[in-house]
Amino acid sequence: MYIAKYIVDALYPPSCPLCGRLTEKGSVVCVRCKDKLRVVGDPRCMRCGRPLPAESEDYCPDCQSMRHWFDQGVGVFPYQSAVRRMVMDLKFRGKTVNARLLGRWMAAYVKPELVRWRPDVLVPVPLHPRKLRQRGYNQAELLAARVGADLGQPVDSRLVRRKNSTEAQMGLGRLARQRNLERAFAMVKDRKADGNILLVDDIYTTGSTVDAIARVLKENGAQNVYVLTVCIGSDF
């Protein structure tokens, strides 16, 4: 009995992951935050999954003006939502426990897409080895592990690697960043991509990171590349 309670508490800490207040027994987020868990609904961009204003085109301005390497993507929560704090805590403050809940929400959200996408494997966006050493974990890998476990899908964290670190990106304009990113990823030695791949990351902003990875994967044998993130930006 004691151990069972401990396990439940470890999975669902009694404090709200969004605001830190105590939650009622049995609920994951507190009463006040329940409304804040609004996921991205329709209409959303048919390519990248960004929320769109009602009665708009099928594609966001971004996807209308440029061709992406990935085939389609979805993000669960708008970037401005309360969930962003959970993502930041996971990414920068060592709160790895957040990956469980976020991953669970991602898995539930992406389920309807899987019928069409039929991914063969989930691939987390890799960190540069130096960054991985500093942080001690790759948040995208933790999320992918949770999503993979919930959906019964294998996860491959050793398919693509990051050659250039993001520090080199600071102070660069969008075009220069993009050019840098195009060369930032490579296949892991002796690995080939195959079938349909679902890329997993924390936040989708410009899409240039997942695009660069999708390109490498497609040039090395991947058929289709899809994208799943926790948060997705909507401002242009």
Residues that bind Zn ion (CB under 5 A): 16, 18-19, 21, 30, 33, 45, 47-48, 50, 60, 63
Nearer to Zn ion, 96 or 234 (CB): 234
Nearer to Zn ion, 18 or 122 (CB): 18
> Minimum Å distance from CB 136 to Zn ion?
27
> Minimum Å distance from CB 114 to Zn ion?
20
Nearer to Zn ion, 47 or 128 (CB): 47
Nearer to Zn ion, 7 or 66 (CB): 66
Residue pair 193/220 in contact (Cβ under 8 Å)? The answer is yes
Nearer to Zn ion, 46 or 187 (CB): 46
> Minimum Å distance from CB 83 to Zn ion?
11
> Minimum Å distance from CB 49 to Zn ion?
7
Q: Which amino acid is at 166?
A: T
Residue pair 68/213 in contact (Cβ under 8 Å)? The answer is no
Nearer to Zn ion, 47 or 146 (CB): 47
Nearer to Zn ion, 127 or 227 (CB): 227
> Minimum Å distance from CB 206 to Zn ion?
10
- Secondary structure of the chain in the HEC alphabet? CHHHHHHHHHHCCCECCCCCCECCCCCCCCHHHHHHCCCCCCCECCCCCCECCCCCCCCCHHHHHCCCCCCEEEEEEECCCCHHHHHHHHHHCCCCCHHHHHHHHHHHHHHHHHHHHCCCEEEECCCCHHHHHHHCCCHHHHHHHHHHHHHCCCECCCCEEECCCHHHHCCCCHHHHHHHHHCCEEECCCCCCCEEEEEEEEEECCCHHHHHHHHHHHHCCEEEEEEEEEEECCCC
> Minimum Å distance from CB 59 to Zn ion?
5
CA–CA separation, 14 and 30 (whole Å): 9
> Minimum Å distance from CB 51 to Zn ion?
10
